[in-house]
Amino acid sequence: METGNPRVLWNAGIFCVWIAAIGELSGVDFREIGGLGLAPSRIVPLNPGRSMKRRWITLAAVVSLAACARGMRFPDSLPPVSGPTQTAFSLRYIDITNGTGAVAAPRKCFYVNYTGWLTDGKKFDSSRDTMQNGKARPPLSFPQGARRVIAGWDAGFEGMRVGGQRRLIIPYQLAYGELGRPPAIPPKATLIFDVELMGVADTVMHAEVPGPRPAIAPPPKCPDWTTVEATRE
């Protein structure tokens, strides 16, 4: 078997789960099988007290897993295609503490304390570090969706509330890409951030300038943290 091929491994996994489901329904334990040979002499009876309900639940789970393996279903109006659905990369997160304040709504300004590490544990930045004058740094502010931060941050606060803490695991495709940001961020670096949402505010409108409007609108601005801190929930 070509063990390095993800599709082969997936199919082998589906096969093993099907075997487990058959065992559940038939009352036979296939765990003692060596390799792929289904030698009857190595089949061991299961506990006869195992409920039939549990066996049917197992079968239902296996059928659902097999349906997922067939790939995403598209509307009938789209041209048909064949082949397994692939995932190029994904943003992962762990909610550490659920906040109780304002929701991190789209297009709002977010104020965030954070610490960032590489996957080898090396810290490359933190808003919690003091400045050279010994004073605490204010939280980082950015308008969500305006591409002022890496893509993993634009998407990483969805569902959070002020006061919430989350760990973000951001692949390089949603961070600094193939080139990285030397010397702190090496090429193709997965980044780990512990973030705390400190505040949410409306963006600030730019003052109107006499004359024709520019072809490209200026990026939205965020109020100063001191203003938001005084009014946050």
Selection from 68, 133, 108 nearest residue 200 by Cα: 108
Residue 125 falls in the annotated catalytic set: yes
Residue 23 CA to residue 47 CA, distance in Å, equals 11
Residue 29 falls in the annotated catalytic set: no
Q: Which is the catalytic residue, given 14, 22, 43, 125?
A: 125
Q: Which is the catalytic residue, given 29, 33, 124, 192?
A: 124
Q: Which is the catalytic residue, given 93, 111, 172, 193?
A: 193
Residue 172 falls in the annotated catalytic set: no
Residue 176 falls in the annotated catalytic set: yes
Q: Which is the catalytic residue, given 114, 142, 157, 172?
A: 114
Helix axes 6-26, 52-69, angle to 10 degrees: 160
Own/partner long-range contacts of 83-87 (Cβ < 8 Å, ≥24 apart): 84/7, 84/10
Residue 215 CA to residue 231 CA, distance in Å, equals 35
Report in angstroms the alpha-carbon separations of 147 from 82, 102, 144, 170, 174. 35, 22, 7, 16, 11
Q: Which is the catalytic residue, given 93, 111, 150, 157?
A: 150
Q: Which is the catalytic residue, given 110, 154, 176, 185?
A: 176
What residues are annotated to the active site?
A: 114, 124-125, 150, 176, 193
